[in-house]
Structure 1
Amino acid sequence: MGFGRWSGRLRRALLAALVTGAVVVPVSAAAHPEIPAPAPARLGPVTAATLDSVYAANRATARSAAAMARDHGDTGRARELREMAAGDRTFLTFDPRGAGRAAEVFGDLAHADRIAVLVPGSDTSLDTYDRFRAGTLALHGRLGGRAAVVAWLGYETPGTVSAAVTTTGRAQDAAPELVGFVRELRAISGFRPAPAVSLLCHSYGSVVCGRAASGLTGGAAVGDLVLFGSPGTGADSVAGLHTPAQVWAGRGGDDWIAGVPHAKADVFGTTVGFGTDPVSASFGAHVFAAGDGGHSDYFRAGSPALDNFARIVLGQDAEVTHP
């Protein structure tokens, strides 16, 4: 039997092991009672003129949710929500139910000529939101000027140790939400022509972006699709994403995601795995230098990845550094 066949079997076995080992953990989490929370604020069409009222309504929702979490006895969630209700927080969307969904804006969205949208990976929720927000703040600080950055927690992310993180199911559900959100962003901005939008997609977030890619055209167009710390996108190549956007990929030298099998296999009737490694030559992305950091280090101050993110968002493609 040739090496290729053994290699394929090994990849399928590893993927099956990921699924089999993961399904045990979420059972206890599913039994955990949900924290009471109010429904999202009812908002009409969001425009540049209504942004302040939208931000105020979402802060009010966060305050109500904090009080309900406190009364329920969940002090950790209540503390997070009180911070989100602070007067300087600007949420374009906010839903405190369950794990939570939110989209927080950094910068002047109404007058931004460039917008970066960060799409997070696994284990991101209202309870772990601060670490996601920190990366968004770091990028906004690096961009300066008239660029805005949005932290888009617009889907239910899978757990790092779960069956869901090995399949495209959550990404498939999230993709139309992301396409709709980008369309709304471009319509909100008072900048004409419409602002250039870049998607920065981390880890499982790159699977979401891969699923959304073909819909990110016309009124929802993005200029750049940036994949980092990616397990794959579900596509075998950039061509398979069916997007006119420029596709970039990077991975830190100490990122454990490099050890994940970059393959797809049918396991018990479910497609598991995400295919070709986005930083491989066969995938066809523009590979940028991401430094020697780990899976959570891409937005670290002084990181080559952070510098390159800023260059891509600002349209400074010629200045992007490569491995």
Structure 2
Amino acid sequence: MASRPHTPRRLRRTLLAALVTASVAVPTAGAARPAAVPAPAPAPLGPLAPATAATLAARYAATTDAIRAAERTAADYGDRTRAAALHAMADRTRHFLSFDGRDGGRSAEVVGDLARAERIAVLVPGSDTALDSRRFRTGAVALQRELGDRAAVVAWLGYRTPATASAAALTPGRAAEAAPELSGFITELRAAKSTARLALLCHSYGSVVCATAAPGLPVDDIVLYGSPGTGAGSAADLHTDATVWAGRGGSDWIACVPHISVPLPFGELGFGTDPLAPEFGARAFDAGPGGHSDYLLPGSVPLRNLARIVEGRDPADA
């Protein structure tokens, strides 16, 4: 007899069992991670505020020096792939507000003219994003082009992202580590650009990071897309004055992840309420028919709508 295809209920049970099975690996997941390529500690950075052309030039020069130092260390270590990636990052056309090559690497890259920007989007990525992740930077470039002049996009990689196929991606631990870093960065950016419209765009596991950092964060919008949940039961639980948005592509596999929150000895498993559920209370926007990695594709529905939100306009066809 031919087997029946999985019903949504059976699929949810299967995924739930997989989540619980994966949770057993949490205490040992860190031990399996390969050692990061060594890098020197970056020099302390000068103040960013106000974000004039002169202060930004000084900041960009300091971070480029740090990237080049990390490149030399990676080359001496024998990791040509990492050295090549760092060499590309040190190109004079690229600009970073922060960089630290240790522990896998942290960075905040600016696309556009931040000194003149009246609208700023900060991208917070999800799982499997690293210093050499081309898709992350490509998405930032596409968004800035959609926004045009007087807009800047900051690709913020300020935390050690979990691997998609890992137990760390199912629990809030990495988000708890990242949230103070994101909060500090946004606070500094707001002080430097006090009159600019500032939006926080949070993809996948990045939405857990943003939700954890959200209380009191000085941003105008928090956008959750491709989100597995946030760990909060509702937008009100984020304790933010920002407008909270949610969107998900029609082919995004994240829709199949059960929206559960199971207490375990080491913490919670899962992230609770679906941000698109009416009871969560976010404003929904049309994220098109695409998949989990398609939100910032040039010409796409979600890219256009994300740009409209950053600009302070209503998205189309929400």
Q: TM-score, normalised by structure 2?
A: 0.90
Q: Is the 8 A contact 2:204 2:228 kept in 1?
A: yes
Q: Is the 8 A contact 2:211 2:238 kept in 1?
A: yes
Q: Deviation at 1:17?
A: 2.1
Partner residue in 2 for 1:3: none
Return the alpha-carbon distance in structure 2 between the equivalents of residues 291 and 73 of structure 1: 44
Return the alpha-carbon distance in structure 1 between the equivalents of residues 202 and 178 of structure 2: 13
Q: Does 1:176 align with 2:180?
A: yes
Q: Deviation at 1:26?
A: 5.3
Match among 236, 240, 243 for residue 240 of structure 2: 243
Partner residue in 2 for 1:77: 82
Q: Is the 8 A contact 1:114 1:314 kept in 2?
A: yes
Identical aligned residues as a percent: 56
Q: 1:285-313 CA deviation, whole Å, 9 max, x = no partner? A: 11111111111011112211000000000
**Amino acid of the residue matched to residue 39 of structure 1?**
A
Deviates more, 1:17-26 or 1:235-244: 17-26
Q: Deviation at 1:283?
A: 1.2
Match among 36, 39, 52 for residue 37 of structure 1: 39
Deviates more, 1:74-83 or 1:279-288: 279-288
Partner residue in 2 for 1:101: 106
Q: Deviation at 1:204?
A: 0.3
SS in 1 for 2:237: helix
**Amino acid of the residue matched to residue 82 of structure 2?**
R
SS in 2 for 1:276: coil
Partner residue in 1 for 2:121: 116
Match among 88, 91, 94 for residue 89 of structure 1: 94
Q: Does 1:156 align with 2:157?
A: no
Q: Deviation at 1:39?
A: 1.0
How is 1:124-139 mapped onto 2 (pairs within 5 angstroms)?
Answer: 124-128=129-133, 130-139=134-143
Return the alpha-carbon distance in structure 1 between the equivalents of residues 48 and 312 of structure 2: 27
Q: Deviation at 1:195?
A: 1.0
Deviates more, 1:81-90 or 1:280-289: 280-289
Q: Does 1:227 align with 2:224?
A: yes
Return the alpha-carbon distance in structure 2 between the equivalents of residues 33 and 268 of structure 1: 27
Q: Is the 8 A contact 1:120 1:202 kept in 2?
A: yes
**Amino acid of the residue matched to residue 320 of structure 1?**
A
Deviates more, 1:148-157 or 1:32-41: 32-41
Partner residue in 1 for 2:23: 19
SS in 2 for 1:299: coil
Q: Deviation at 1:87?
A: 0.7
Alpha-carbon RMSD across the aligned residues, in angstroms, is 2.1
Cα separation, partners in 2 of 1:11 and 1:66, compared to 1, 3 Å: closer
Q: Deviation at 1:21?
A: 5.7
**Amino acid of the residue matched to residue 204 of structure 1?**
Y
**Amino acid of the residue matched to residue 46 of structure 1?**
L
Q: Deviation at 1:212?
A: 0.9
**Amino acid of the residue matched to residue 273 of structure 2?**
T
SS in 2 for 1:37: coil
Q: Of Structure 1 and Structure 2, which has the larger fraction of its residues in helix?
A: 1
SS in 1 for 2:215: helix
Partner residue in 1 for 2:63: 58
Segments of 5+ residues of structure 1 without an aligned counterpart are 1-5
Q: TM-score, normalised by structure 1?
A: 0.89
Return the alpha-carbon distance in structure 2 between the equivalents of residues 64 and 175 of structure 1: 27
Q: 1:76-107 CA deviation, whole Å, 9 max, x = no partner? A: 10110000111111100000112100001111
Q: Is the 8 A contact 1:62 1:96 kept in 2?
A: yes
Segments of 5+ residues of structure 2 without an aligned counterpart are 1-9
Cα separation, partners in 2 of 1:269 and 1:27, compared to 1, 3 Å: closer
Match among 187, 194, 197 for residue 191 of structure 2: 187
SS in 2 for 1:60: helix
Return the alpha-carbon distance in structure 1 between the equivalents of residues 299 and 11 of structure 2: 39
